[in-house]
Amino acid sequence: MPRQDVKGFLAQLKRERAELDAAIAAIERRFGARSASASAKPTGKSRPMSEETKRKLSRIMKAKMADRTKAAAKK
């Protein structure tokens, strides 16, 4: 493909992208839609884990590791 064809094709794609961006923005303004990245942002708030929950998770993980160790030893 000659270089001029590539440049023309790229220019056409950029024009189409600009048209699509404008259409998306108009729809978002009309319906008050937020972008996916804005709604997917974490709030920064996390609940602290209780000591009881930590102990429970610790027991579960230790049991899983023991099972994996046993399975690996059998191989």
Express each pLDDT in 37-47 by its tens digit: 555 566 777 88
Which tokens go with 26?
């108009």
pTM, 2 dp: 0.39
Res. 53: pLDDT tops 80: yes
**C-alpha to C-alpha distance for 26 and 20, rounded to whole angstroms:** 10
When computed from its CA atoms, the radius of gyration of the chain, rounded to whole angstroms, is: 27
Express each pLDDT in 7-31 by its tens digit: 899 999 999 999 999 999 999 888 8
- Give the list of residues 6+ apart from residue 33 with CB closer than 8 angstroms, or none: 27
Res. 32: pLDDT tops 90: no
